Amino acid sequence: MRDLKPLAQISVLAASVVTGLSFSPLSKSKATFPGVLSPKSSASSLSATTPTSPSAKAFTTKRARDLVQSLVEEDKCYVTEAGARAFAEVCAPDVLIEDRFFPQPYTGKTNAAAYIMERVAQRKGKGEVRIDRISDGDIACGFAWTWTCGQEEGLRGTTFVELNENGQIKYIQEIPEPLFKPGNLTKELLRAVTQGAEPKPTVSFEKKAPTAANEVAKYLYVDLQNAEPEAGTAELMRFLADDILYRDFNFQNPLTSPAEVKAFVDDFSFPGIEFRPLRFDDGDLSTCFTWEVVLDDAPDTVKGMSFYELDPETRKIVYVRDVPESAIKPPILGKLARDFRPGLGVFRGVPLGSRPGGK
């Protein structure tokens, strides 16, 4: 559906064009477009300066959510060796980890243990990983995170975690924010790349009123995928809260109203872009899902991830975070920043607590 694509991938593709011209050939479609778990406790309290999604505060047991919070916040699996061992213990024998900062996935429990130990070593004993928002999924969940160090905070990103029938981690995808944010400079380049692409035929859809976050995401990105543009836009607007905050990591500043989101959608809508949702969690008040996009029938796809949060009363969308992978792995600026400031992962941090909820 042309009008919904920007919420998960239009600007991703646009950023790919810009960084692709800078770092890699477009002909290869490799341009930059734009984590666990010892089930020993329930959701733990988060810092008062970083409010989480309403679902994180629910008392209902959710296996995936509770396991992730235990590993990240209590065991500190990203920054301590003991936590890394706890992480490895709860990975399934056939676990697959796709950390999109790195060029290759990690398969199997042994490689998963090596991966998380490498993550700990990279931080060099500096900093923490803060969970800003986490979806309330039982078999899978996603969480938005920030690296913190001392009185500063830096790199942000999103991680998707899925469990098997035994409660072991069977799949992880993690994507950090791109440090280079091209913003609106990409629009004309994207228009040029997709020039001549023909719009796909539209299809009818059954109008629904889902109230669970994961069902809202499926409705918008599966049911309405090829809907008639005006009808699709009208459906999208029906689900947006007046106080929505939409964070696309290809831009420095978030969108803060339905009108801004609609203008963004209209501005970055082009034919020649196919959106393919891949994995959804089962969150109720918030949800995380992974996806890939294809630019004008290019042979390669580009992966990304979205996090949606609903108002618990109105069940409208109050928060969106979209994050794309980098085609260059590891990303040049990202690698330099992690080497230079391992506690923050960025060249210049911001005051701790200045981005509540991972804004």
Average pLDDT for the chain: 84
Query: Quick check: is 193 in a domain?
Result: no
Q: What's the whole-number mean pLDDT along residues 213-218?
A: 98
Query: Do 309 and 269 fall within a single domain?
Result: yes
User: With pLDDT > 90 as the criterion, what percentage of the chain qualifies?
Assistant: 65
Q: Supply the pLDDT for residue 143.
A: 98
Query: Quick check: is 234 in a domain?
Result: yes
Q: Supply the pLDDT for residue 270.
A: 73
Strand blocks (E) in the chain: 91-99, 106-107, 128-134, 140-149, 152-163, 169-176, 240-248, 273-280, 286-295, 302-310, 317-324, 350-351
What is the three-class DSSP state of 214?
Answer: helix
Residue 168 has pLDDT above 70, yes or no: yes
| Predicted model pTM | 0.85
Query: Do 172 and 68 fall within a single domain?
Result: yes
Q: How many domains does the chain have?
A: 2
Query: Quick check: is 104 in a domain?
Result: yes
Query: Do 62 and 168 fall within a single domain?
Result: yes
Q: Supply the pLDDT for residue 243.
A: 97
Query: Do 246 and 168 fall within a single domain?
Result: no
The confidence band for 230, taking pLDDT boundaries of 50, 70 and 90, is: confident
Closest CA to 51 of 212, 260, 245: 245
Query: Do 306 and 338 fall within a single domain?
Result: no
The confidence band for 189, taking pLDDT boundaries of 50, 70 and 90, is: low
Query: Quick check: is 239 in a domain?
Result: yes
Q: Supply the pLDDT for residue 56.
A: 45
Query: Do 246 and 286 fall within a single domain?
Result: yes
Residues forming a β-bridge with 142:
160
Query: Do 235 and 310 fall within a single domain?
Result: yes
Query: Do 76 and 143 fall within a single domain?
Result: yes
Query: Do 167 and 61 fall within a single domain?
Result: yes
Query: Quick check: is 192 in a domain?
Result: no
Query: Quick check: is 276 in a domain?
Result: yes
Instruction: Convert the pLDDT of each residue in 286-344 to its tens digit.
Output: 999 999 988 776 777 889 999 999 999 999 999 999 999 988 999 999 999 999 999 99
Query: Do 236 and 121 fall within a single domain?
Result: no
The confidence band for 108, taking pLDDT boundaries of 50, 70 and 90, is: very high
Q: What's the whole-number mean pLDDT along residues 273-294?
A: 93
CATH classification of the domain holding 72: 3.10.450.50
Q: Look-up: residue for tokens 């280079």?
A: 180
Query: Do 171 and 73 fall within a single domain?
Result: yes
Query: Do 267 and 295 fall within a single domain?
Result: yes
Query: Quick check: is 298 in a domain?
Result: yes
Q: Supply the pLDDT for residue 264.
A: 87
Query: Quick check: is 148 in a domain?
Result: yes
Instruction: Convert the pLDDT of each residue in 21-56 to its tens digit.
Output: 332 222 233 233 233 333 333 333 333 333 444 444
Structural domain of residue 305, as residue ranges?
5-33+201-324
Q: Supply the pLDDT for residue 53.
A: 45
